[in-house]
Amino acid sequence: MNTTNQKLSQAQQEIVRYMGGKPVLVAAGAGSGKTRTVIEKIIYLIQKGYSPHRILAITFTNKAANEMKTRLGARVSVPLFKFKWVRTFHSACLLILKDHLDFLKYSYIQVFDESKKDALLKEIVCDVFKLDKKYIGFVSGLISEAKNSGNPKQTFSRKIVPVGETRAYEIYNTYNAALRKRNAVDFDDLLMLTRDLLAQDEKVREQYRQLFQFIFVDEWQDSNTVQADIIRLLEMNGNVMLVGDDWQSIYGFRGSNIKNFIEFDKLFADGIVFKLEQNYRSASEIVNLSNKLIQNNRFRTDKVCFSDIPGGLISFKIYGDERSEAAEVVNQIRKLFSDKTRLSEIAVLYRASFLSLNFEKSLRSAGIPYQIVGGKGFFERKEILDLLAYLTLFVYPKDDEAFLRVLSVPRRGIGPKTIEKIRQSDREETLMTAARNAVAEKKVKGAVFKELSNLFQILDSVDAVKDAGTVLTEIIKKIRYEEYLNDYCKGDKDELLQRTGNVYELVNTAKGQGLSSFLEDIALFTDKEAEDNEDKISLMTVHKSKGTEFKAVFMVGCEDGLFPHYRMMDEGLEEERRLFYVGMTRAKIYLHISCAGFRFYEPKRPSRFLHDIVSKEKAKTA
């Protein structure tokens, strides 16, 4: 055994050395070193004579796969290309399908990305079935859900579909036929078709069973039904190790099935479960409090997570409103920074991205550099730019860039060629003035004339003297922006919630301000100089924080309706609690949880999750 293995804990060493010929589930707590354990297990197998190119190690991101290859290559002095099967599920499935094109009856295979998929669906939904384009996003999401379920017909039969169950299933079949005609598959097909190939062709199934001497899957709690089918079909003589933490299963909205983890014994009746319960990241106070939270979930594995790290600091606070919450959190960040804590060791976590705005403002006012992780700054987000373009035209009618954006949101069918003709028709005028003149002089006709006329009617009907919040509310209603956003998000409910929340926060921020001053404030806010300083606070959603760790974590906006989200109060409540758990366990030493008594000028109640972990005495003090 190599010397590094000797540094592993006893629980980790038992997993690494286990060669009992039974499928293994590793139920690993947060910060328990599960990835390191997987890497050591692979090294152990290679030392035992296993071939690197015959080990299938599945990760859920390309970044994780590349990091694993790099760490393995450095440890065993094997060229990275030898680890051919260290890759994501979709990537591994594509390799398999490319070697069996005869099963697909394809001469080659092309993977359609989301843009190609949407273009094809638009053709089918609008041109073939003569339906409104607003159904494209819904149908796209339904097709993805159906394929990831492993039983598409059943999915369609149990869903309430606005275009009708029968017609929706016809669209599904027509879409798949169009893919086959083009020698194409979409992202979800990669999994389902591989599952079908392995299930239907015994020779191919046996080929890959013989090829893979050992199979690992990381983040097993995030697997879906089809992925579980694939692993079950590939397993031979117990050569499977599934690793993850069901307490951190937070992607149910993407189709993950936590039952794959909880009901491991149904997947592999003779399987064995190992547990990694020691947390090497967080102080014991934080681990104990996180345990207390997750115990309220009924659907979970039993673990007793613990830490030997002392000195954790935990605080709770109810602030007056969202602005005072942001200001006070930034004050605490200042104190931490003055106590020699690096900014890069501090994170502000929130359930919904629109909550970042007040913290961005407070951090900028304090001169503290920050970064939005996995997203854009509030005023850089698409929906914010869309609506600000309308406001801009009331104050700065010569802003051609703003008018170009308004022409395209919502879609009006006015393309670049038409816009250039309008521009050429009156070169001495701004684009909006040229367009108004083109309508007045009837230089444009048909649909373009109608769309431009409607747009100018909307703009002229808005009373721009009113405060910016009122003007925004009018614009959103008159251009039916929420309907446009629903279509834009293509059935992704989580994205729609985030973008809609951003819109509400923009309206809330604009209330009581004049248009000019509001736009000037935004211009000053966004006109920041490039910063080379990499020591920055991290702002991110809790979903984005998974896999990260920080010395100090501020969980903000912890109010009922926000966290847990109001749409997840019933069936999704346990997943919301797991998400809260993920946020708490990002913290190493310092954890501050806060909420606002008022948000959007309305009274709010502290998150019910705080009642799970805070005693009545502490709640009164907070």
Give the model's pLDDT for residue 600.
83
* Residue 218 annotated in active site: yes
Question: Tens of pLDDT along 356-400?
Answer: 999 999 999 998 999 988 877 788 889 999 999 999 888 888 888
- pLDDT at position 526 is 57
Active-site entry in 12, 155, 194, 248: 248
Of residues 2 and 557, which shows the higher confidence score? 557
State the pLDDT at residue 614: 83
pLDDT digits (tens, 9 = 90+) for 239-283: 999 999 999 999 887 788 999 999 999 999 999 999 999 999 999
Band of pLDDT at residue 619, cut at 50, 70 and 90: very low
* Ranges 28-32, 307-311, 533-537: which has the least confidence: 533-537
Strand order in the sheet with 214-217: 86-88, 55-59, 214-217, 240-244, 24-28, 272-276
pLDDT in tens, 129-149: 888 877 888 888 889 888 988
Tokens of 391: 């406001």
CB 53 within 8 A of CB 31: no
In this prediction, residue 168 has a pLDDT band, given cuts at 50, 70 and 90, of confident
Lowest-pLDDT range of 11-15, 211-215, 397-401: 397-401
pLDDT band at residue 553 under the 50/70/90 scheme: very high
Q: Is the pLDDT of residue 524 over 50?
A: yes
pLDDT for the residue numbered 515: 86
Residue 564: pLDDT over 50: yes
Q: CA–CA separation, 337 vs 451, rounded Å?
A: 54
Residue 528 has pLDDT above 70, yes or no: no
Cα–Cα distance for residue pair 122/113, rounded to 1 Å: 14
Q: How far apart are CA 619 and CA 611, in angstroms?
A: 8
Q: Is 35 a catalytic site residue?
A: yes
Active-site residue (options: 12, 35, 37, 392): 35
Same fold flag, 314-369+530-612 and 380-523? no
Please report where in the chains the tokens 């990241």 appear, as a residue.
Answer: 281
Among residues 40, 145, 189, 219, which one is catalytic? 219
Q: Which of 145, 186, 218, 222 is catalytic?
A: 218
Tens-place pLDDT, residues 308-346: 999 999 999 999 999 999 999 999 999 888 888 899 999
pTM: 0.81
- The catalytic position among 12, 34, 213, 585 is 34
What CA–CA distance (Å, rounded) separates 80 from 77? 9
Question: Does residue 421 have a pLDDT over 60?
Answer: yes
C-alpha distance from residue 108 to each of 97, 175, 183 (Å): 10, 19, 6
Per-residue tokens: 19: 């060669």
Check residue 360 and give its pLDDT.
Answer: 92
pLDDT at 104 > cutoff 50: yes
Continuous segment of H or E residues that includes residue 227: helix 225-234
Q: Is the pLDDT of residue 621 over 50?
A: no
Tokens coding 203: 């020779």
pLDDT of the residue at 615: 65
Fold held by 10-94+192-278: Rossmann fold (3.40.50)
For residue 525, what pLDDT is reported?
Answer: 65
pLDDT in tens, 506-518: 998 888 888 888 8
Could you tell me the pLDDT band of residue 1, with boundaries at 50, 70 and 90?
Answer: very low
Q: 103 near 201, Cβ under 8 Å?
A: yes
| Active-site residue (options: 69, 586, 599, 608) | 586
SS3 for 265-314 is HHHCCCCEEEEECECCCCCHHHHHHHHHHHCCCCCCCCCCCECCCCCCEE
The H or E element spanning position 42 is helix 34-47
| pLDDT value of residue 532 | 47
Determine the distance from the C-alpha atom of residue 146 to the mean position of all C-alpha atoms in its chain, rounded to a whole number: 20
586 catalytic residue (yes or no): yes
CATH topology of domain 380-523: PCRA; domain 4 (1.10.486)
Share of the chain above pLDDT 70, in %: 95
Over residues 485-499, the pLDDT tens digits come to: 988 887 777 788 889
* Residue 598 tokens, joined: 């008022």
Instruction: Render pLDDT for 432-445 as a digit per residue (tens, 0 to 9).
Output: 898 899 888 888 88
Q: Which CATH number does 314-369+530-612 carry?
A: 3.40.50.300
Give me the percent of the chain exceeding a pLDDT of 90: 51
What band does 160 get if pLDDT is binned at 50, 70 and 90? Answer: low
Verify whether residue 460 is a known catalytic residue. no
Tell me, what's the pLDDT at 529? 41
Kind and range of the H or E run holding 194:
helix 187-200
Q: Is the pLDDT score of 616 beyond 60?
A: no
Q: Structural domain boundaries of the chain? A: 10-94+192-278, 111-182, 314-369+530-612, 380-523
The model's pLDDT over 33-53, given as tens digits with 9 standing for 90+, comes to 999 999 999 999 999 999 999
Among this protein's residues, is 248 annotated catalytic?
yes
pLDDT at 252: 84
pLDDT in tens, 179-206: 988 888 898 999 999 999 999 999 999 9
| CB-based contact 321:619 (threshold 8 Å) | no
Maximum C-alpha span of the chain? 86
